[in-house]
A = this chain, B = another copy of it.
Amino acid sequence: MADVTKITNGSLIGAEMVNGTNVYNMAGEKLGEVDDLMLDKKSGRVIYAVMSFGGFLGMGEKQHPLPWSALTYDEGKQGFVVNLDRQKLEQAPTLDDYENFEWTPDFGRTVDRYYGAPTYW
């Protein structure tokens, strides 16, 4: 695989460039950063951003899927903003052991409900 594409031009952005983007709450506190995007295979639409939160050097870190519709990109901050306080995030659904994570429609609905997002499932 070649070097990562770093393009952002006008209305387009490379997925590799989205990864690592900071996520802030409405108070401007950094909650975490985007680690990956979950796509619908058929439509190619991003359904969730996977955000890593807390921990140190990858240890003790939690992975949270956030519905894409709950994220707003803030050009000034160069990051995503989500209406979510730290406390709510601490209780949010996580992707435990996610190399082997079994993502069920029930889990998806739980995530969507938690963030009050229109459900994909």
Contact = CB atoms under 8 A, between A and B. Distances in A.
Contact of A12 (B3, B14, B38): B38
A15 interface: yes
A43 interface: yes
B35 A13 contact: no
Given A16-B36, A44-B46, A58 B10 contact: no
Contacts of A119: none
A112 to B, nearest CB: 13
Interface in A70-103: 73, 95, 98-99, 101-103
B5 A50 contact: yes
Nearest to A55: B2
